[in-house]
Amino acid sequence: MSIFELAENSWGSEPKLDVDALRRCFGQYATGVTVMTASVEGEPVAMTANSFSSVSLDPPLVSWSIKRVSQSFSKFRIAEDFAVNILADSQVDVSRNFGRSAGDKFKGIGWKRGLNGLPLLDGAAAHIQCRVANQFDGGDHLILLGRVMAFEHFDRKLLLFAQGRYAVAQDHPAIESSVDTTSTRGPSDSFIAGLMYRAYGALAERMEEVQRKQGFTPAEARILGAVATFSGYTTSELMPELYLGESAAKSAFASLRASGVISIDAKERIAFTELGNAKLALLLDALRRQQDQLLGGLPDEDIEAARRVFRQMIEMSRRQSARI
């Protein structure tokens, strides 16, 4: 904890404002992240901002503030409209891109034009298009008040910014514990296989997103996980562990081999290359972080119990197939 008093101290001299300490203190207030855009003489202009706030519903008003020393300040000051692009949790790169001064910030970014040519970014969680209603002095910032002219939002998770870091939202454990996990509504709430199928579906999309960002298809990522687990296996020995159709597995093996991630010798034995080992480490690290986020609200002992049950099921099925 740190305490800074800005009032006159007992010696009668006013202490110097510690701007960094004040910034850290302001950072205790979590926000979303937006990219503010405008079109000035047809030229798109944009910057990352978390000073956005909704102000009024009737009339519909929002505000944000822009640092006077920003390169795009002169443009936003004269713009008649601005668009608020509320970023989704997959858009950290977009936030970073527009959070720096650069020539063409729109290079490589997907966007379209909205009202009066306002740039609207692809993949955002919401677009709010505004007409500037007023501007106010805000010290080293200028406060812009906008009247909402159009808005749309999409079913995406949000990017947050708190304590100087990017974050994602998850339900508070106090809310999760109020979810009744004991009552069942029907067969897919009571059959283990049905529950596993649905639980897998609930996680798979996010995990696959991470796999793709690391450059792998879900099938390739599954193979990498299996090769790391069952070292020294041949391609055919690995097949029962993959739960992939033969042609999907074959083409995933081929592309992993072609990209130099794995090697397959004359006896079909698979091994990671040096590049493969490095890529695997990155993939596992990213997947672990995603899994921690997805399961963050669950008690550790529940997660461990689930792991135990799944391992037992796999072992039981192995023993049964061995008997047949």
Ligand X SMILES: Cc1cc2nc3c(=O)[nH]c(=O)nc-3n(C[C@H](O)[C@H](O)[C@H](O)COP(=O)(O)O)c2cc1C
Contact residues: ligand X, CB under 6 A: 33, 47-51, 64-67, 70-72, 95, 99-101, 161
Which residue's CB is nearer to ligand X, number 98 or number 216? 98
Residue 86 pairs in a beta bridge with 34, 126
How many CA atoms lie within 13 Å of 238's alpha carbon, on the beta-carbon side? 27
Which residue's CB is nearer to ligand X, number 106 or number 233? 106
Cβ–Cβ < 8 Å for 130, 146: yes
Residue 133 gets which letter from DSSP? E
Report which of 45, 53, 38, 57 is spatially closest to residue 138, judged by C-alpha positions.
53
Shortest Å distance, C-beta 138 to ligand X: 10
Shortest Å distance, C-beta 67 to ligand X: 3
Residue 144 gets which letter from DSSP? E
Which residue's CB is nearer to ligand X, number 51 or number 273? 51
Which residue's CB is nearer to ligand X, number 70 or number 259? 70
Shortest Å distance, C-beta 148 to ligand X: 18
The separation between the first and the last C-alpha atoms of the chain, rounded to the nearest angstrom, is 65
Contacts of 175 (CB under 8 A, 6+ apart): none
Shortest Å distance, C-beta 182 to ligand X: 41
Shortest Å distance, C-beta 197 to ligand X: 38
Which residue's CB is nearer to ligand X, number 66 or number 227? 66
Q: What whole-number distance in Å separates Cα of residue 44 and Cα of residue 62? A: 21
Shortest Å distance, C-beta 100 to ligand X: 5
Cβ–Cβ < 8 Å for 226, 284: no
Shortest Å distance, C-beta 77 to ligand X: 11
Q: What whole-number distance in Å separates Cα of residue 173 and Cα of residue 187? A: 27
Residue 67 pairs in a beta bridge with 141
Which residue's CB is nearer to ligand X, number 71 or number 135? 71
At 243, list the tokens.
């739960």
Q: Look at the block and give the residue holding tokens 């300490």.
A: 21
Q: What whole-number distance in Å separates Cα of residue 126 and Cα of residue 85? A: 6
| Radius of gyration of the CA atoms of the chain, in A | 26
Report which of 132, 133, 134 is spatially closest to residue 118, judged by C-alpha positions.
132
Shortest Å distance, C-beta 96 to ligand X: 7
Which residue's CB is nearer to ligand X, number 51 or number 170? 51
Q: Do you find a cis peptide bond into 119, omega within 30 degrees of 0?
A: no
